[in-house]
Amino acid sequence: MDPSTDRRPFEDAPQTWPSCLCHGFIIFLGFLLLLITFPISGWFALKEG
């Protein structure tokens, strides 16, 4: 492993495609979770009010 990537791995290391794919998948899952739970929580808040 290159010692220059050990100090700042997120700044110096180039993005490989599995890392990019995993990052995009995690962002997509988070967005999907927000999209699903936000209307449900809003509906419960309006129903209780």
Q: How many helices (H) and strands (E) does the chain have?
A: 3, 0
- What confidence tens digit (pLDDT) does each residue in 12-44 have? 556 688 888 999 999 999 999 999 999 999 988
pLDDT at position 36? 94
> Does pTM top 0.75 for this prediction?
no
Give the separation between CA 30 and CA 38, rounded to whole angstroms. 12
pLDDT at position 8? 52
Give the separation between CA 13 and CA 3, rounded to whole angstroms. 11
- Three-state DSSP class for residue 44: helix
- What confidence tens digit (pLDDT) does each residue in 5-16 have? 555 555 555 668
pLDDT at position 22? 93
